Amino acid sequence: MTNNLKKGIALISYGATMTTSRHVADRRKKMKALVGVVIMCVAGGAAASEGKSNVDMCKLSAEFARAVMGAHQAGVQADLVIEQASGAGDAFVELAVAIYGTTRFSSKEYQDKAIRNAYNDTFIGCMKEMK
């Protein structure tokens, strides 16, 4: 297990115990979102060292954007996500910071739309940069 993954697991288990079912569900949502970010950070570092194709790297960046936006929309603290992103490189940190600078929505419909847009915008932007 890598250090980033260990840190991520420790961060996920960090926090006060919540007693109401709403708080438990909210905490699970946040933990699930943070796990996604941790996995994408670990995968990002591995893929960069394997010499993936431009399309594969852009897909990876877009998946990272989706995971970060999901964490943002779930209410995960920015510092937790950005700390994980720092292990994957400066580009991932910049992307996480940019995503956390966007609006956080309360309705599921708009949250899902923001997550889809983060993926698509990141993929298209990456492909344009690769030319």
129 has pLDDT over 70 = yes
Confidence of residue 60 (pLDDT cuts 50, 70, 90): confident
**pLDDT digit string (tens) for 3-19?**
444 444 334 333 333 33
pLDDT band at 46 (very low <50, low <70, confident <90, very high): low
Structural domain range at position 62: 3-130
Task: Provide the pLDDT for residue 84.
Answer: 84
Question: What is the number of structural domains in the chain?
Answer: 1
The answer to whether the Cα torsion of 24, 97, 99, 101 is positive or negative is positive
Least confident of 32-36, 64-68, 78-82, 116-120: 32-36
